[in-house]
Amino acid sequence: MFDKITEDNIRLFIDEFYNRVRKDADLGPLFTNAIGYTDEEWNPHMNKMYDFWSSVMLSTGKYSGNPMKKHTDLPSFEESMFDVWLALFAKTAREFYTESAAKKYIETSERIAQSLRLALYYRPERAL
């Protein structure tokens, strides 16, 4: 278990998390449809995720992109998939990190998911 979040263990954590995502009965098909089947197809996504979580957790500024647009451009999916993703993310974080470090990841992921949910499912123009 890691007690400090570093570049190296971010990569290990994200690798393990997305290995689990790909195997998950609910999340796997969503991600496969969006990204692909092979490791080669997944490499660009994984590199973005390393940079994203490095920027979020360590303030490195490595990530450049628009996660909101990326998610709004996806084919629609059930809002409940956020709960599945968050549960798997939290479980993986708790297995990799001590309580305080895992808590930082979990709280951050919940805030990000809330923003994405609002953009995807609770936009006023979609209610018209």
pTM for the full predicted model: 0.91
Q: What is the pLDDT of residue 2?
A: 97
Closest-CA residue to 29 (of 73, 68, 84, 108): 84
Q: Which structural domain, as residue segments, surrounds residue 121?
A: 7-127
Q: Split the chain (128 residues) into runs of 10 and give each run's mean pLDDT.
A: 97 98 96 95 97 97 89 84 97 98 98 92 62
What is the count of structural domains for the chain? 1
Q: Judge whether 2 lies within some domain.
A: no
Q: What is the pLDDT of residue 125?
A: 58
Indicate which CATH number applies to the domain containing 26: 1.10.490.10
Q: Judge whether 26 lies within some domain.
A: yes
Give the Cβ contact number of residue 113 at 10 Å: 15
Question: What is the C-alpha to C-alpha distance for residues 14 and 1, in angstroms, rounded to an integer?
Answer: 14
Q: Judge whether 32 lies within some domain.
A: yes
Closest-CA residue to 108 (of 29, 65, 55): 55
Q: What is the pLDDT of residue 128?
A: 45
Q: Judge whether 87 lies within some domain.
A: yes
Q: Judge whether 82 lies within some domain.
A: yes
Q: Judge whether 1 lies within some domain.
A: no
Q: What is the pLDDT of residue 122?
A: 82
Q: What is the pLDDT of residue 14?
A: 98
